[in-house]
């Protein structure tokens, strides 16, 4: 009897130690999440992280399904396409991608049954393919959108933008856009060519489309081209930054405002390094690094005021479905940020700091109340503060 009593006490003690250990471990994990999500001095907070989804690789591109149940993403190497269930946090499937570099090109179809991405395969082997349509249920490619292959290069899309039943697609490096009917993916027209200051066809990797404003936008290097969708004629071309390259573009389709993101490029009139001398930054030129998220009238090239944010290079920008908010991921010197502005007023609403590197992909939930962003640890879901939503 005594032996049994001692054993029961041992079991109880071990259970108590296990509970304490698990509690401490949970506390450490919570502290780690809270440490990575810091308030940023001088800026209002954005909201709180309510969920973290572990990922096998850092994710560079994100899209949120129309029903709000799933998030899809492409890893930073552009090698794999994923789908995660937001409720369980589990990976539903993964499929080999082999897409085009760093393009932020990933969207769900309106009914959520398909995921649309740039061609998932070898452009050298299949130069005719432009886009791939993937089954949300299985992750398998349903079909490829194709065109007759060009004489040189490939049709492999650099970027695309979908509005209602139209898609504007950058066709390789040809300087042309293809306008497709998304009901059957037939080519309706080609727009272009877009040319540089020397009269040569300009390839581009950023596209935005608005049917309401009869507008197609392309971005390349530091320039924006605006084009009439119906007339197939250029509207204007303008320079967005003094030194920076355009890294991301988005259109507020309700008001026709263009948003651009830039990087932290610098130019020096003399070498920064000299043998035996400290680095010399006295002759360095660069854009205002607190103002790299910029708004424009795409018909005139007139800049529209936006509040300044943290000093950082803009990586991705996305607008909410109601067109009220613009969110950006950006980074500088070991800390990354998620920043949200109100488009109509240019007011900066909140900043979320993240000390875990490689914050890049970003997406709004369909109702605009949450943001998904990706870092090295996985996908973080932020519930936006009520004041950002006018509640």
Which distant-in-sequence residues (6+ apart) come within 8 Å of 282 by Cβ?
Answer: none
The domain limits of the chain are 1-38, 42-389
Q: Which residue has the higher pLDDT, 331 or 324?
A: 324
- Full-model pTM: 0.84
Q: What's residue 70's pLDDT?
A: 98
Least confident segment among 39-53, 117-131, 163-177, 255-269:
255-269
Q: Give the count of beta carbons closer than 10 Å to the beta carbon of residue 303.
A: 14
Q: Stretch 24-46: mean pLDDT, rounded?
A: 56
**Cα–Cα dist 99/105, whole Å:** 10
Position 66 scores a pLDDT of 97
Task: Please report which residue ranges of the chain form alpha helices under DSSP H.
Answer: 2-36
Question: Which pLDDT band, with edges at 50, 70 and 90, does 358 fall under?
Answer: low
Residue 29's SS3 state is: helix
Q: How sure is the predictor about 128, in pLDDT bands with cuts at 50, 70 and 90?
A: very high
Q: pLDDT digits over 60-80, tens only?
A: 999 999 999 999 999 888 789
Q: What is the mean pLDDT of residues 318-331?
A: 93
The band of 120, judged by pLDDT with boundaries at 50, 70 and 90, is: confident
**Block residue for tokens 């709180």:** 48
Under DSSP, the state recorded for 245 is P
How many residues appear in the chain? 391
> Dihedral angle at the C-alpha atoms of 12, 18, 23, 29, nearest 10 degrees?
-170
Mean pLDDT in residue range 370-387: 93
Q: For domain 42-389, is the CATH number 3.30.565.10? A: no
* More confidently predicted of 49 and 286: 49
pLDDT band at 282 (very low <50, low <70, confident <90, very high): low
- The burial class, CB within 10 Å (0-12 / 13-18 / 19+), for 25 is exposed
Res 157 pLDDT > 60: yes
Do the beta carbons of residue 47 and residue 12 sit within 8 Å? no
């Amino acid at each position: 009897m005594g032996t049994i009593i001692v054993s029961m006490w041992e079991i109880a003690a071990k259970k108590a130690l296990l509970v304490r250990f698990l509690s401490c471990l949970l506390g450490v994990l919570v502290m780690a999440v809270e440490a990575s999500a810091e308030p940023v001095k001088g800026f209002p907070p954005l909201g709180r992280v309510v969920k973290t989804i572990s990922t096998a690789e850092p994710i560079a591109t994100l899209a949120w399904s129309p029903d709000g149940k799933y998030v899809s993403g492409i890893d930073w190497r552009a090698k794999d396409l994923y789908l995660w269930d937001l409720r369980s946090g589990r990976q539903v499937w993964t499929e080999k991608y082999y897409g085009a570099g760093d393009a932020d090109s990933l969207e769900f179809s309106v009914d959520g049954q398909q995921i649309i991405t740039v061609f998932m395969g070898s452009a050298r082997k299949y130069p005719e393919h432009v886009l791939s349509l993937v089954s949300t249920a299985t992750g398998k490619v349903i079909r490829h959108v194709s065109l007759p292959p060009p004489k040189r290069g490939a049709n492999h899309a650099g970027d695309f933008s979908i509005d209602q039943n139209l898609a504007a697609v950058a066709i390789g490096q040809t300087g042309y856009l293809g306008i497709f009917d998304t009901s059957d993916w037939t080519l309706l027209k080609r727009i272009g060519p877009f040319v540089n200051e020397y009269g040569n066809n300009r390839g581009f990797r950023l596209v935005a489309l608005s049917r309401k404003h009869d507008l197609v936008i392309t971005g390349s290097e530091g320039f924006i081209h605006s084009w009439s969708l119906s007339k197939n004629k250029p509207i204007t071309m303008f320079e967005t930054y003094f030194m920076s390259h355009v890294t991301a573009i988005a259109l507020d389709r309700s008001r026709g405002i263009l948003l651009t993101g830039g990087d932290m490029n610098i130019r020096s009139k003399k070498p920064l390094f000299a043998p035996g001398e400290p680095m010399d930054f006295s002759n360095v030129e660069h854009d205002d690094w607190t103002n790299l998220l910029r708004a424009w009238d795409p018909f005139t090239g007139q800049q529209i005021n936006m509040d300044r944010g943290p000093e950082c290079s803009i990586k991705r920008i996305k607008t909410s479905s109601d067109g009220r908010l613009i969110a950006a991921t950006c980074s500088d010197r070991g800390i990354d940020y998620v920043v949200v502005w109100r488009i109509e007023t240019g007011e900066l609403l909140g900043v979320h700091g993240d000390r875990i590197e490689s914050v890049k992909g970003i997406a709004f939930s369909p109702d605009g109340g949450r943001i998904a962003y990706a870092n090295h640890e996985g996908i973080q879901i932020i519930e936006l503060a009520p004041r950002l939503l006018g509640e």
